[in-house]
């Protein structure tokens, strides 16, 4: 006699787990546990002393974090961080804690879709974001191989995408374009990757700077369009088009809506999070990108999924 199928957890149970997980991470950051572990593995007794917390509760919290995959237990009572980039998580948690106020006012916590706001937000943020994109960047570099030697990375940030392209295609030379306040972070990331001799830098605003005519085989626009509304994206692509050589390539990398309900849940959260740091940021549909690129003078876009988490796609279209 076959066993009856195990019932799936009802949505309420999943939501309760999500709320509990968020609060566990909040508490670990608030008491200083994450910062203490960032200095290296420590014993529970040492952590409780450093954080001025009850040792038994500290142990229980650490065991829960271990089951969540956030920390690991190297030996009885001795713990270490198991996830890179936890400062990004704590930064995100601080923003999400203010969501109700943003919903009431409609005003974001930061104006990252303006030059002044981006100059404040991104110098510290882009190195943390970069680690999230490494696997997808490798895939994009493979797909873009052979597209040309001269690449313009627009809104480069910590340059995860163009660093991957330069590593995968040794003949490529990259010009990284970003705001003067951000370009220092770009240089640090490129130097850390030992690619300083392959990069040039243009510290400027992508919406106002002058670009050389027909100078690039590939214009890379990665994780930029979601920061802006339709009119800004349309204007940006029209500005970039003259910089692309004949039969050159525009490579847009961004999140697209998904027909899969599970994937769309994550994308909806991402779209909501965009409004915490922008006034008009959004997850735009493929049809919008197709309209913007066509109006700017590019041909049909070929779409490739780069990763499911984060849910990123490459939209590649050549000049007409």
Q: Where along the chain do its domains lie?
A: 11-84, 105-318
Phi and psi angles of residue 179, each rounded to the nearest 5 degrees, phi first = -60, 150
For tokens 């640090």, the residue is 188
pLDDT in tens, the chain (320 residues): 566 666 666 788 888 998 999 999 999 999 999 989 988 999 999 999 999 999 999 999 999 999 999 999 999 999 999 987 777 888 888 899 999 999 999 999 999 999 999 999 999 999 988 888 999 999 999 999 999 999 999 999 999 999 999 999 999 999 999 999 999 999 999 999 999 999 999 999 999 999 999 999 999 999 999 999 999 999 999 999 999 999 999 999 999 999 998 899 999 999 999 999 999 999 999 999 999 999 999 999 999 999 998 899 999 999 99
Architecture of the domain whose range is 11-84: Orthogonal Bundle (1.10)
Nearest to 189 by CA among 157, 224, 144, 154: 157
0.85 cut: is pTM over it?
A: yes
pLDDT of residue 7: 61
CATH fold label, 105-318: Rossmann fold (3.40.50)
Cα–Cα distance for residue pair 203/183, rounded to 1 Å = 6
């Amino acid at each position: 006699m076959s066993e009856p199928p195990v019932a799936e957890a009802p949505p309420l149970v999943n939501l309760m787990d999500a709320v509990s997980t968020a609060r566990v991470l909040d508490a670990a950051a608030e008491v200083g546990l994450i910062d203490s572990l960032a200095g290296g593995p420590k014993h529970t007794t040492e952590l409780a002393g450093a954080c001025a917390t009850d040792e038994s509760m500290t142990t229980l919290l650490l065991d829960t974090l271990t089951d969540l995959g956030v920390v690991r237990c190297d030996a009885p009572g001795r713990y270490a961080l198991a996830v890179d980039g936890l400062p990004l998580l704590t930064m995100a948690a601080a923003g999400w804690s203010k969501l109700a106020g943003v919903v009431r006012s409609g005003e974001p916590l930061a104006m990252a879709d303006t030059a002044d706001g981006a100059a404040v937000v991104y110098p510290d943020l882009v190195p943390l974001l970069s680690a999230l994109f490494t696997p997808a960047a490798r895939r994009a570099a493979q797909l873009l191989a052979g597209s040309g030697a001269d690449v313009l990375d627009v809104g480069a940030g910590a340059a995860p995408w163009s660093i991957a392209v330069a590593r995968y295609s040794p003949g490529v030379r990259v010009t990284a374009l970003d705001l003067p306040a951000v370009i220092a972070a770009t240089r640090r990331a490129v130097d850390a990757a030992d690619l300083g001799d392959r990069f040039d830098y243009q510290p400027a605003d992508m919406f106002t700077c002058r670009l050389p005519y027909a100078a690039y085989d590939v214009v890379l626009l990665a994780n930029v369009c979601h920061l802006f509304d339709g009119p800004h994206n349309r204007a940006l692509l029209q500005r970039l088009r003259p910089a692309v050589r004949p039969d050159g390539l525009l490579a847009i990398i961004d999140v697209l809506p998904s027909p899969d309900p599970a994937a769309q849940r994550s994308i909806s959260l991402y779209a909501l999070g965009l409004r915490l740091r922008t006034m008009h940021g959004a997850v735009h549909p493929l049809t919008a990108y197709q309209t913007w690129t066509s109006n700017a003078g590019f041909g049909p876009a070929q779409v490739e999924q780069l990763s499911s988490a984060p849910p990123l796609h490459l939209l590649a279209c050549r000049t007409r």
